[in-house]
Amino acid sequence: MIRLNRVSIAVTIALVAGLGGVGVQPAFAQPTPTPSVALLAAASTAPLPTATGAPTPTPTQAPTPTPDAGPPSPSTPVSASPQPVATTTPAPTPTALPTIVPTPAKSTPPSSATPTPSPTAPSAGAQAAGTPLVSNDPRELAQALVDAKTAGALRTNPPAIFDREIAPLAQGQALTGCTVDTRILQIIVLTLYKFGSVTISDIQRPCIGDQTNCGAPTYSVHCTDPARAVDFAVVGGVVLNGSNSQTIQLLKLLDSVVPDGTNAGQYQCRVSAGTSLYLVNINQFSDSCNHEHIDFRNTNVPLNLAAIGAGVNVLSASGSYVTALYNDYLARTPSFSELMFWTKILDGGGARTAVSDAFVSSDEYRLIRINAAYRGILGRGSDPGGQTFWLTRMQQGLLTTDDIETSFYGSLEYFTNHGGTNLSFALSLYQTLLKRSGSGSEYQFWADLAQAHGRDWVIAQFWDSTETISSRVSAMYSSYLGRVPDPSGLQNWVGLALKLGDSGLRSGLTGSDEYWGRAATRFH
């Protein structure tokens, strides 16, 4: 099913960015009148209703060849009906953005291709929605730090800190004398979530051949095994000096989750700078003013991870937005590497609409929609051959993600399941697409049109009517913005739907300022 007069998503989004459903929009032709209009009860000689700017119905064509394995029935349109126009006029191919972070069938997920996991199957590190952001597992934490280093978000100076103290943990085995307290790993990961990048200058000295202050009279906590201290040198691109605003933000964040008895250095740096800082769980002491030191020498109590998301804001604005996209499109929480990958793009100036469009056109989301179409339209589960057939068509640009429903409504299987006659087919479209009943004359009117021009053409008229588009737009508002659309917003988006298609509509709504702002309140 083709979307008429679509413009490039990238161009159109520039017009609607920040729309949030309101505001004056470019004027577009009014969509087709809803199929229930009384005039449709006219005889078959009545003028054919057409979507705004709709081309004349394409003549019947031979069915599209099916793969050797023979995909499920929806893949083979009825020979008596015209093929979806997409087979003759391909829809725009998906934007060639970085391979999206959702992940594909193999386990090359969000943490694979250039930290971008492929958009088809959750990566090994992917989490179900609601999973805590910070793990209690040392190996998972170390792997998150390995991913962060790969993405350029984590640095250690000297590099041996990463090579000997972190990387081996990700393989499940610490080097002798180089174990690290799980809480140290947790606060590094937590800091990465909040600030996006971190440089560590010290963890466990003897592990890298440094014995500085390991004996009397200092007995530095950096010399214990397991390591129970860490020095943050740079956070979020800002060099820490113990008293600047970035240091204060870091200490306030950590104070909300660390146990009572935790220690932080650089106290005299803050005093000299005239910075007064009251911390509930952290004791402060003097240290050199070229980093921020944190240690757990006086407590064995674990971090209060339950506080994260329950009043403690851990994610940056970009992180909240990416997390919202994963939850809304893929029904899961992003892995650490996925979150780092997309936040880095956004923080580097990447357009939100480009990111949201990548989710819409990801294989992982496509498969979700394909499976949903099998269940919702055909009333059964999908099979591997069918999934592959439809996914391939989307990848080739023959269908957009949101065209899958119209393709299934036009399938022989749907036709058979709903009575196998044009009259019963017309009745089913009222029930499934309009969610209401029509009159007998209306059913007959559309049955005659199905006979004359094919069922695909009839589906196009229903799908592109004001009534059905309004219903789909309202559902998107509810899902993405958590509210019903205002009248002007609904009218604007209905007009845009005929230009962009539903996939462009989704990308526009989830790239809007309103969605961005709501994400910050939903995931923090």
pLDDT score, position 57: 28
Count of Cβ atoms closer than 10 Å to residue 384 Cβ: 10
Q: Which of 368, 361, 316, 304 is nearest to 343 (CA)?
A: 316
User: Residue 283 is inside which H or E element, if any?
Assistant: strand 282-284
% helix, strand, coil for the chain, step of 5: 45, 5, 45
Q: Are 322 and 344 in contact (CB under 8 A)?
A: no
Q: Are 347 and 135 in contact (CB under 8 A)?
A: no
Classify burial at 369, counting beta carbons within 10 Å of its beta carbon; exposed 0-12, middle 13-18, buried 19 or more.
buried
Interatomic CA distance for residues 234 and 292, integer angstroms: 9
Interatomic CA distance for residues 125 and 109, integer angstroms: 8
Q: Which of 333, 411, 323, 401 is nearest to 368 (CA)?
A: 401
User: Residue 186 is inside which H or E element, if any?
Assistant: helix 182-195
pLDDT score, position 316: 83
pLDDT score, position 85: 28
DSSP state of 50: -
Q: Give me the torsion for CA of 298, 301, 302, 304, rounded to 10°.
A: -110
pLDDT score, position 38: 30
Interatomic CA distance for residues 125 and 141, integer angstroms: 11
The pTM score is 0.64
Report residue 524 as tokens.
Answer: 């923090």
Chain segment 22-59, per-residue pLDDT in tens? 332 222 232 333 333 332 333 232 222 223 332 222 22
pLDDT score, position 169: 96
pLDDT score, position 69: 28
pLDDT score, position 61: 30
Q: Are 522 and 317 in contact (CB under 8 A)?
A: no
Q: Are 270 and 250 in contact (CB under 8 A)?
A: no
User: CA 300 from chain center: how many Å?
Assistant: 37
Interatomic CA distance for residues 521 and 524, integer angstroms: 7
pLDDT score, position 500: 84
pLDDT score, position 123: 43
pLDDT score, position 157: 96
pLDDT score, position 401: 86
The dihedral through the CA atoms of 51, 53, 59, 64 has a sign that is: negative
pLDDT score, position 377: 96
Whole-number Cα distances in Å, 47 to 33, 136, 494: 13, 67, 24
pLDDT score, position 314: 74
Phi, psi of 394 (to 5 degrees): -65, -40
Low-confidence ranges of the chain (pLDDT < 50): 1-131, 311
Interatomic CA distance for residues 289 and 26, integer angstroms: 56
